[in-house]
Homo-oligomer: A and B are copies of this chain.
């Protein structure tokens, strides 16, 4: 069994299922009924071992996947062997709403840690959204945020230096984990290897290593045994030119209060 102990015994243990609701509630309040419908849809679950694919390039997608626990990476590979992680999934993230419209996956999704995902059929998605405008809107918001993150990654890799780039990624992940209750007081599980980090930032593992050392030396972070501690978030935000606007956590739509 190759389950990474550090993460399995990580400092954050929450009930699964709550992450999705927490994430969507960053956009809009949900009613008890909405939450029940969400729970309903996370019945059919599956576990994936670390470093195994949840779905592979070329596969025909049949389900929408929802990450209930663990981390996953969306990646693309080039014929010459180069690999780019184009997005990361943490608990509460859907992997491509409506993906089943497409004939074949243009990328793969692999597990970073041991992964618990819900498999949702198109029919279930329909049932989830039918007559639930709040959920529908929240899922749209989720989709828009996901692509906004993708754009920010393009900017990150295209324009920032290695140091800024890694700093930016750390801040983003910390913020995202925070909104689903998986990070607090500057600390979170951080299961990515330096190799993963390299593939996600378009750098080499060697350079990631040196850059992390620089971040440590400058007193910005501690990172050891898959545990990240952010020591100076202000400065990390500053040097990485992190602008949270693309996460759209401004709680717009909260006027749609379910209990009003």
Interface residues of A (CB under 8 A from B): 57-58, 74, 76, 78-80, 82-84, 86-87, 96, 98-99, 101-104, 106-107, 137, 140-141, 143-144, 146-148, 150-155, 157-160, 201-202, 241, 243, 245-246, 248, 250, 252-253
Contact = CB atoms under 8 A, between A and B. Distances in A.
A87 B101 CA distance: 23
Given A150-B150, A151-B86, A158 B202 contact: yes
A78 B158 CA distance: 11
A150 B154 contact: yes
9 contacts: A84-B159, A86-B151, A98-B144, A101-B253, A102-B144, A102-B252, A106-B248, A147-B147, A154-B157
A137 to B, nearest CB: 6
B144 A99 contact: yes
B146 A78 contact: no
What are the 10 closest A-B residue pairs judged by CB atoms, nearest first?
A158-B202, A103-B252, A106-B246, A82-B159, A84-B155, A84-B158, A86-B151, A147-B147, A150-B150, A86-B154
Contacts of A106: 148, 151-152, 243, 245-246, 248
A87 B141 CA distance: 20
B147 A84 contact: no
Given A58-B245, A80-B241, A96-B144, 5 more contacts: A76-B152, A101-B141, A101-B253, A102-B144, A102-B248
Contacts of A80: 241
Nearest to A247: B106
B155 A76 contact: yes
Contacts of A78: 155, 159-160, 241
Contacts of A103: 248, 250, 252
Nearest to A159: B82
Most buried by B among A143, A151, A245, A253: A151
A243 B57 CA distance: 12
Nearest to A80: B241
A231 B141 CA distance: 43
A32 to B, nearest CB: 23
B141 A102 contact: yes
B98 A140 contact: yes
A258 to B, nearest CB: 17
A78 to B, nearest CB: 5
Most buried by B among A143, A153, A158: A158
